[in-house]
Structure 1
Amino acid sequence: MITHYSFAIRLLHWLTLLALLAAYGSIESRSWIDFTPGQRKVVAITHVYAGMSVLIMMLTRVFLRSKRALNMTQPSGHSRLAQWGHGLLYLLFITLPLLSLTARYFRGREWSWLGLAMPITDTPNPALAKSLMAWHMDLAQLGYWLIAAHTLAALYHHVIKKDNTLRAMRLWGK
């Protein structure tokens, strides 16, 4: 059973969830809302900013977790399963934004993030950019399954095992 997470880890967990909701929500909304071209641009920008936020928060979480091992007393099978699950979440939500950034790099069109000009190649490769975005879109579907599995695992701990795993991730209170 997990005894506690640092406030930074808990805060980043919930902020990452909000950023993922914005990233997935913005991209999914395009299929059921008829946006004007201006609105589509706002939705696309929202998706990119949310994705960049996910990348920064996930890398920060990896750094923080590497600095401080969690106090876990779960049976080794549960522990290994949790480590694999978290590892897949971290890997996916670092890989997705990196695929998109790399695709933008090879697209060769100028773009900025938070007012900073982002690097682009001098020799664009549209075919590679398109391939990277296809990987981004295909792998993004895996995110739904990993998020669902993560949520079900938290509910399993809370409802069936009745341990404090879910409570240990609360943002406020003990």
Structure 2
Amino acid sequence: MSLRNTAGRWGGVSQLLHWTVAVLILSIGAIGLVMGELPRSPKYFWVYTLHKSLGLTVLALVLARIAWRLYAGAPQPVPGTPRWQAWLAAAVHLLLYLLALAMPLTGWLYDSASGLRPFRWFGLAEVPKLAAPDEALAGIAQRLHVTLFWLLVALVAVHVGAALYHHLFRRDATLARMLPRGWLSVPDDEVSR
């Protein structure tokens, strides 16, 4: 498997970053949905710190993914993809990158403006505050964080739906080229790409 992206498929580094960020975002979303229901106990604070630590990890990984994509490029659209679908896919990818950056930043801003005690990323390093305590700013950041989460959920659903549509109905290599070779069958003319 090539580490760099080629004209026909995503390379190993892009695949690893893609699936790692996807799993982390799903985990963070699940944690975020349940942590508000937890009683205020030491477990609550541990879960809250985990949510924030994973969020900052996603921020770093998305920045790494963007840098890698700028360096390694991106595959061409699958042959036969209509121009409007290629444009729409590019727009959705851009929005996914922006939301994957904005989500942790708004969460970090909310944490900072809330005036909570400093938190340590996975207990290892203290995370600096982005703003002084400000109740109004904390409220705005929290509402924005929640709104962006639901927008991200909707865009991920579109992204996953499009990948499944291409695999199940168009029967092209769109999904297969984001997976290691051989995980999904693809038409013979696209295997060699």
TM-score bin, normalised by smaller chain:
0.7 to 0.9
Runs of 4+ in 1 over 6 A off after TM superposition: none
**Structure with greater proportional helix content:** 1
**Which residue is equivalent to 1:17?**
22
Cα distance in 1 between the residues matched to 2:148 and 2:157: 15
Give secondary structure in 2 for the equivalent of 1:83: helix
RMSD: 2.2
Q: TM-score, normalised by structure 1?
A: 0.87
Aligned-partner residue type, residue 15 of structure 2: R
Cα distance in 2 between the residues matched to 1:91 and 1:155: 23
How many residues get paired?
A: 172
Is residue 2:140 matched to residue 1:136?
A: no
Shift of 1:34: 5.1
Aligned-partner residue type, residue 93 of structure 1: A
Is residue 2:51 matched to residue 1:44?
A: no
**Which residue is equivalent to 2:70?**
66
Cα distance in 1 between the residues matched to 2:180 and 2:42: 36
Q: TM-score, normalised by structure 2?
A: 0.80
Tell me: CA distance 1:144–1:123, structure 2 relative to 1, closer, same or farther (3 Å).
Answer: closer
Cα distance in 2 between the residues matched to 1:141 and 1:36: 25
Shift of 1:29: 2.5
Cα distance in 2 between the residues matched to 1:167 and 1:122: 43
Percent identical among aligned pairs is 28
Cα distance in 1 between the residues matched to 2:130 and 2:31: 28
After TM superposition, the structure 1 stretch with the greater mean CA deviation from structure 2, 160-169 or 113-122, is 113-122
Shift of 1:30: 3.6
Cα distance in 2 between the residues matched to 1:5 and 1:47: 29
Matches within 5 A, 1:21-40: 21-30=26-35, 35=39, 37-40=41-44
Cα distance in 2 between the residues matched to 1:28 and 1:82: 28
Deviations 1:57-112 (A, max 9, x none): 11111111111222314332111010001011111110010111122333344222
Give secondary structure in 2 for the equivalent of 1:165: coil
**Which residue is equivalent to 2:11?**
6
Tell me: CA distance 1:164–1:97, structure 2 relative to 1, closer, same or farther (3 Å).
Answer: same
Structure 1 gaps of 5+ residues are: none
Deviations 1:13-46 (A, max 9, x none): 1111110121011112246x65562222222122
Structure 2 gaps of 5+ residues are: 1-6, 184-193
Q: Contact 2:114 / 2:133 at 8 angstroms: preserved in 1? A: yes
After TM superposition, the structure 1 stretch with the greater mean CA deviation from structure 2, 135-144 or 71-80, is 71-80
**Which residue is equivalent to 1:56?**
60
